[in-house]
Chain A
Amino acid sequence: MRSLSHRARFLALGTAAVLASALVAACGSSSSGSSSSSSKPILIGASLSLTGDFSADGQAFKRGYELWASDVNAHGGLLGRKVQLDILNDNSSPTQVDTNYTDLITVKHVDLTFGPFSSLLTAPSAEVAHRYGYAFIEGAGGSPLVFSEKLPNVFDVALPVANELDPFVNWIKSLPAGQRPATAAYPMANDPFATPQVQRVQSFLQPLGISTVYSKIFPEEVPDYLPNADLVAAKKPQAVILGSTDVPTVASFMHGFEQQHFNPKVFIAAAGPDQGQSFLSAVGTANASGMMVPNAWYPGYANPTSQAMVAEYVAKYGGTASGVNADVAEAYSVGEVTAQAVKATGGTVGSKIIAYLHSGVTLSSVEGPVQFNSLGENIKAIAFIFQWQNGKFVQVLPVGAPGSVKILYPKPNWAS
């Protein structure tokens, strides 16, 4: 009796182990050999966060990659071959993202890799790509952490995070002393994408004589920020530079300010107002007026390829032009840069692409010019500051840059 139950136990255990390894080996053996037939599609692999913390951006990225792929194929493909995307879900998890890229490279034998969303996932997966000699072109890994790895295969087409607010600083500097805000508050979410640029602004504005009345880091993912908003409002700063990473944080602060009947002359947030319709629904179109946000791209950007892309996006996914998320453009640019590198090197060999992209060549994308330094940062990335004006998302800074309109300053009072 006893031996039987033990036997059963081990039978179960052994079966499970065999099943597990068979399962895993089954996907292992489903490899597609990569021959060099020119009619074979170019397989591009990417891992995106379709669920989990980064899902909103991950989904936008997916649409951007897919839009690029369908565009390329509509124009005859790349080097005469069709482009085929293989996008896996990493659920915003670094363990999964490593597994995904290993799978894409070693099992699916993709020809090229596109980056995931977020520096947090880019840092480990870039290592995986590096190990196999793949170029890693990405549009969402711009935090100092990624570049600290000093990997030769990383290429970030987007603007480095810390420099996002430079045009804002320059504008404040350009104002006559009497018109500048006298006081400023710097609330920041505890996130590597919310602190570096805000702290940089503080370091520039303080020497100008703009006194800091509030500068603190608050925790992320708190259901509401009323206490923090109250504290900032109580100090009545003329400028608020908010280190936020999503719409709820900005909306929560805005609601708090409205409830306290506090209206700053200048209100710029690191992220949130760039989320188009999502942002407008959360705060109301009238209240959005005057809110500023940095970005390297926006739907109205006066670039022909960008305009074409926006039109196609709307045709394919609906919505309005002004609702197109900047993530889409970043993803699209990744595709464009990859395509240019592939065409220039005549193939998909990783080492050649890496060498080409590091050669100092300037490429073009829907987000403007792209040129990489030795770390893989895009040193020609343009930084704009955008502002909502009466339901329209317009470029306001740098002052005088093509496409910039007059900035709305001071910010209009809350509508209620």
Chain B
Amino acid sequence: MTRPTVIRAAGAGVLVLAAALFPLVFTNPTVTNFGVVTLIFVVVTSAWNIFSGYSGYLSLGHAVFYGTGAYFLVVAAKDWNLSGATIFWLVPLAGLAAAVIAVPVGLVALRVRRHTFVVITIAFFFIAQLSASNLSVTGGSSGLLVPVPNWAPATYNNPFYYLALIIAVATVALSWQVRRSRFGLQLRAIRDDEDRAAGLGVRAMPVKLTALVLSAFITGMAGALWVYFIGEAFPQFVFDPLFDLAVVLMAFFGGLGTLAGPVLGALILEPAQLWLNLQQSNGYESEILFGALFLVVILFLPRGVLPTAAEYARAWNAWWLRRKSGSPRVVAEADSAGTSVRGSVS
């Protein structure tokens, strides 16, 4: 393995270890509560990125998959009379349910592009939310309750935390694997220029659909885990438009289409939002603040924190090298995918 890969693997390992030890060090349930919610957002943001980040199709309807997974868990837990830790076995099944739903949704939605795609995903979102409000199997607008386990309060959050952590690590690993694979290359080709990619032999629909199904599977699991954590499923909470927007913001903030970007975005923004809400008793102040922060990010960090930070690091390094060698400006740059090197002398 090359040196950069070793460094990355080591860094990732340290991070995962730190995350695993986190609830044992910070035992306060409020902190682990933050941890669970943050990890869930890490999962969903990375999953969303696997589809939208890599393919360039912005989905604002991922809550459909989140909600499918959530309702699946609740209904199955009731129907099959499960309780306690056994319910966790429903989580992957819930992911499967969401993946199944993703097929017809994808077949319809992926036929259109850009803005139309965005709005179609929004339409699917509302159809899902309204269906949940009207159908009796989902409890209609009265919602459904999940049987809540009787675990000790001091460590109540921990099982949820660890399951979320496992799913998060698996998701990032999957994202990394997709990136390095031919499949990932095809996705990125579609993102850059779909027609050209098709001309070069990339079968766009199956590729896009596969990415969507993968993304939906993970998102469904996250939804199921969340609903078990909260204990209730109501259409307006399970299908929450602001949830989708938060995910998009986190992915952007961290760096759309990168590996670590969505993780970073979720790690920074979700605790920040939870914390802000705890500090402010006037909700509108946090809204204004959030909007302003958003704008700052968009105007000054348009490619997200991670790519911009990497750019700065590169520029700084080039400047440093120039100073050291005292030679005329030789600037060699590699872009973040490492696939091309441009050089110029001035």
Contacts and interface: CB of A to CB of B under 8 A. Distances in A.
A16 B34 contact: no
A149 B267 CA distance: 34
Interface residues of A, number: 62
Contacts of B116: none
Contacts of B305: 12
Contacts, number: 179
A10 B172 CA distance: 14
Interface stretch (A17-25, A226-234, A289-297): A17-25
B153 interface: yes
A124 B230 contact: yes
A120 B18 CA distance: 36
Contacts of A94: 230, 232, 234, 237
Contact of B28 (A107, A124, A131, A195): A107
A278 interface: no
Interface string A136-163: 0000000111001100000000000000
B253 to A, nearest CB: 10
Given A9-B306, A25-B31, A192-B141, A14 B283 contact: no
A21 B230 contact: no
Nearest to A51: B283
A208 interface: no
B292 interface: no
Q: How would you classify the secondary structure of chain A's contact residues: helix, strand, loop or mixed? A: helix
B327 interface: no
Contacts of A132: 153
A90 interface: yes
Contacts of B83: none
Interface string B252-267: 0000000010011001
B314 A13 contact: no
Interface centre among A17, A19, A149 (most CB of B within 10 A): A17
Interface in A329-355: none
Interface of B: 3-4, 7-8, 11, 14-15, 18-19, 22, 26, 28-31, 33-35, 37-38, 130, 133-134, 140-143, 145, 148, 153, 156, 226, 229-232, 234, 236-237, 240, 260, 263-264, 267-268, 271-272, 274-275, 277-278, 280-284, 286-287, 305-306, 309-310, 312-314, 317, 332-334, 336, 338
13 contacts: A6-B7, A8-B312, A8-B313, A13-B306, A28-B26, A28-B28, A50-B281, A99-B274, A100-B277, A120-B234, A124-B231, A192-B141, A219-B130
Q: Identify the 4 closest CB pairs spanning chains A and B, nearest first.
A: A51-B283, A8-B313, A10-B11, A192-B142
